[in-house]
Amino acid sequence: MKTVTDYFGSSVFDDRVMKATLSAKVYASLKKTIDEGAEIDIGVANAVAIAMKDWAVSRGATHYTHWFQPLTGITAEKHDSFISPSPDGGVIMEFSGKELIKGEPDASSFPSGGLRATFEARGYTAWDPTSYAFIKGKTLCIPTAFCSFGGHALDKKTPLLRSMEALNKQALRILRLFGNDSVKRVTSSVGPEQEYFLVTKEMYDLRPDLRLTGRTLFGAKSPKGQEMDDHYFGVIKPRVAAYMEELNDELWKLGILAKTEHNEVAPAQHELAPIYTTTNIATDHNQLTMEIMQKVAAKHGLVCLLHEKPFAGVNGSGKHNNWSIATDAGQNLLSPGATPYENAQFLLFLCAVIKAVDDYQDLLRISVATAGNDHRLGANEAPPAVVSIFLGDELNGVLEAIETGTPYKGAEKTQMKLGVDVLPKFNRDTTDRNRTSPFAFTGNKFEFRMLGSSNSIACANIMLNSAVAESLKIYADRLENADDFETALHEMIRKTIKDHKRIIFNGNGYDESWIKEATEERGLLNYRTTADCMPHLLDKKNVDMLTSHGVFTEAELKSRYEIMLENYCKTIIIEANTMVDMAKTQIAPAIEAYAADVAKSAAAKKAIDSSLECAYETGVVRKLSVLTDQIASESEKLENALNSLNGAKDIGSESVMIRDSVLAVMSSLRLACDEAETLTSKKYWPFPSYADLLFSVK
């Protein structure tokens, strides 16, 4: 029987395969490209292409594709076969370095946000050699970047790679100041926890809202939800366990480091967490994970729901982004280390993150902004829309001692001066995790908890990498010109703590008093919706920072503003139209049919005994009559609100109109329909109930 170690990565053209199939010279050249970002030679590309094709064909592959991540939020692929005609009328299998390095998919139907005219259809995909190629089905998938004919990034990977390079450049400058000349590269690493729901295919097919929007737009509260806390970490049901087992097998074949699985808080909700790895690879892996989750679910008669809020009244699904930075020698720069010298370096990198999060709260909020995630943020199952940092008691004590110049009251009663000879050693923070914090330090990494479950993690990590790179650049510019490094270092860390301590909060992020304190006393931002935060992507400070590091051009930022707001508007418009259709063609007729039958029942009773009041039947019919009128009225209001959007002068105005008018009417329509569900006989109601959906998987 094969063990996991026998088949892990068996569908991946990874380092083990490259060593076995490439010459030593070609392998060394490719490794230099991967590890140091060196340009790849066409001769090396040809050799790699041949080896890659032979390996893929030997495993049954017939096609190849440049696998990329356009601004749709999902992946894209165009398959080409390896076949070429031979003189004898047959075919041969060919694949060249040119085909490996570059492809030309039609870019006309992908979102561009004005970066190209509709008739300018040409786009280019460029091989990302730092992310291994893999086989999916009978297709060799080559991870690539995607750009327009004019060179603008039309994807999420290109800016991500740029942000990683910006972080690498500035982090190396800091390490050189600490005398570390051996490190050649610094990379960010990520481990994204993935939450999801499982429902049966039979139930899913009976819900138009789930099929069209990914979430339930109607649904009365189930008699039992998550009140008993009996699902969290509970025994995994056999059908779910079988699904998880096959999911793990498929992920492991693709070299995805699926590690932890468990039941989450809400009924039918679960989580998968991987071991963290280099950010661009983690991004590729998470996109694959979401795809494979849904494919494997279908094989088990299930549907995997990745929407942030598929059910009202129970916890939604997030994706916690565990982020850290490390050197090519394996040193985690967010780990305090074993010596005071390492502590000083750690404190500088820690302060760089604190400064970055405070200076660019808006960009971090923007990076997780979607119509779906707006339902989570600020609810009691997710961090608030206000960004803050949790550090824990020990680190808080260290930073306070530095700011005030008083002795650190930890293990050593030594004044906190940052010279390497006098800085006391302190251990990794052991404080309990704060689950209410949007951005929490957890020992040697930060857990960014605001991402929604369907989000690509690229967006959050682009902004995080870039903002930290900016902090490090400011530090390096000052320290490189300092007359006394240790004094300048001490003053810089002290000033950072003083200037940015408002972003540090170790309390309960769910408490309403915190939101008031954060916004009114500390001056932190609170952008509740995508429509609120998205315009700030184009604020001068944000454009200046992102363009100065070469992460985006100004045109690319404007395009993303347009695309993200357009997605927000389209998502809600689809939801609103679905609500109107369900309410008018299914819910209202069902209520009327039930009310008519109840009225007939009352009439039949009276025919037998005219003295009967039929109070129950009369009450039900009266209540349902009022509700059907409300449903008709709210449906008409919603249609009118949607029609009014035609008068919006631009996408920004449309998003504000949706926020201020459409969402409120959607909420009112839902309230009326959900109340009617509680009064209508189950056999008349046209959709499975919340209880049916949440407890259908055995």
With a cut of 60, say whether residue 445 has pLDDT above it: yes
Rounded Cα distance, 200 and 300, in Å: 9
pLDDT tens-digit series, residues 237-261: 999 999 999 999 999 999 999 999 9
* Predicted local confidence at residue 409, as pLDDT: 66
516 lies in the same domain as 636: no
pLDDT at 422: 39
For residue 141, the SS3 value is: strand
Q: How confident is the model at residue 215 (pLDDT cuts 50, 70, 90)?
A: very high
Above pLDDT 90, what percent of the chain?
73
Pairwise CA distance, residues 129 & 135, whole Å = 15
Domain-located, residue 291? no
| pLDDT of 464 higher than 90 | yes
| Cα-to-chain-centroid distance, residue 49 | 32
pLDDT at 269: 96
**Over the stretch 24-37, which tens digit does the pLDDT of each residue have?**
999 999 998 888 77
The answer as to whether 643 is a domain residue is yes
How many CA atoms lie less than 13 Å away from 400 in the CB half-sphere?
Answer: 12
Q: CA 66 → CA 137, 144, 455, 694, distances in Å?
A: 15, 6, 22, 38
419 with 475, same domain? yes
Asked if residue 516 and residue 581 are part of one domain, the reply reads no
Contact indicator for 361, 224 with CB cutoff of 8 Å: no
Measured at the CA of 146, the angle between CA 143 and CA 150, to 5 degrees, comes to 155
Q: Which of 280, 128, 162, 156 is nearest to 550 (CA)?
A: 162
CB 369 within 8 A of CB 530: yes
Helices (H) and strands (E) in the chain, counts: 24, 19
Containing domain of residue 635, as a range?
A: 566-694
Lowest mean pLDDT: which of 37-41, 209-213, 307-311?
Answer: 37-41
Residue 249 confidence (pLDDT): 97
Q: How many domains does the chain have?
A: 3
Lowest mean pLDDT among 82-96, 511-525, 627-641, 665-679: 82-96
Taking Cα atoms as reference points, which of 525, 345, 559, 558 lies closest to residue 438?
A: 525
59: domain CATH number? 3.10.20.70
- Quick one: pLDDT at residue 84? 83
Three-class secondary structure of residue 478 per DSSP: helix
In a domain, residue 659? The reply is yes
Least confident of 69-73, 185-189, 422-426: 422-426
pLDDT band at 343; cut points 50, 70, 90: confident
**What's the CA gap between 266 and 257, in Å, rounded?**
25
Contact 122/107 with Cβ under 8 angstroms? yes
DSSP string, 616-642: HHHHHHHHHHHHHHHHHHHHHHHHHHH
| Judgement on whether residues 587 and 532 belong to the same structural domain of the protein | no
Q: Please answer whether residues 438 and 300 qualify as being in contact, where contact means their C-beta atoms are separated by less than 8 angstroms.
A: no
Task: Identify the pLDDT of residue 441.
Answer: 93
| Residue 244 maps to a domain | no
**225 — pLDDT class (breaks 50, 70, 90):** confident
Query: Average pLDDT in the 587-593 region?
Result: 97
Q: What is the CATH number of the domain that holds 574?
A: 1.20.120.1560
484 and 574 co-located in one domain: no
Task: Identify which has the larger pLDDT, 231 or 577.
Answer: 577
Are residues 375 and 522 located together in one domain of the fold?
yes
pLDDT digits (tens, 9 = 90+) for 389-438: 999 888 888 888 888 887 766 544 444 444 444 345 555 555 556 678 89
| Shared domain check, 337 and 481 | yes
C-alpha 191/C-alpha 155 separation (Å) is 21
pLDDT tens, position by position, 663-675: 999 999 999 999 9
pLDDT value of residue 413? 42
Same structural domain for residues 56 and 108? yes
Q: What is the pLDDT of residue 115?
A: 64
Same domain, 505 and 577: no
pLDDT of residue 493: 93
Let me know if residue 670 belongs to a domain: yes
115: which residues sit within 8 A by CB, 6+ positions away? 148, 150, 152, 154, 555, 556, 559
Residue 501 lies in a domain: yes
Residue 536 in this model has a pLDDT that exceeds 90: yes
E strand map for 76-174 = 79-81, 83-85, 91-93, 102-103, 123-127, 133-136, 139-148
Closest CA to 431 of 393, 401, 397: 393
Burial degree of 262 (CB within 10 A; 0-12, 13-18, 19+): middle
Indicate whether 544 and 572 sit together in one domain. no
Mean pLDDT of the chain: 91
pLDDT of residue 231: 83
Q: Are 358 and 473 in contact (CB under 8 A)?
A: no
Greater confidence (431 vs 73) lies with 73
Do residue 102 and residue 148 come from a single domain? yes
Domain boundary among 529, 552, 575: 552
Report whether 118 contacts 563 (CB < 8 A).
Answer: no
CA 77 to chain centre: 21
CA–CA dist 466, 460 (Å, integer): 10
86 pLDDT band, cuts 50/70/90, is confident
**Alpha carbon distances (Å) from 602 to 519, 589, 623:** 57, 20, 15
Whether 427 and 509 map to the same domain: the answer is yes
pLDDT of the residue at 589:
97
Report yes or no on 264 lying in a domain: no
pLDDT digits 0-9 by tens, 89-130: 776 778 888 999 888 766 566 666 666 555 555 678 889 999
Any domain includes 422: yes
Q: Is 586 exposed, middle or buried (0-12, 13-18, 19+ CB in 10 A)?
A: middle
Domain end, chosen from 494, 520, 552, is at 552
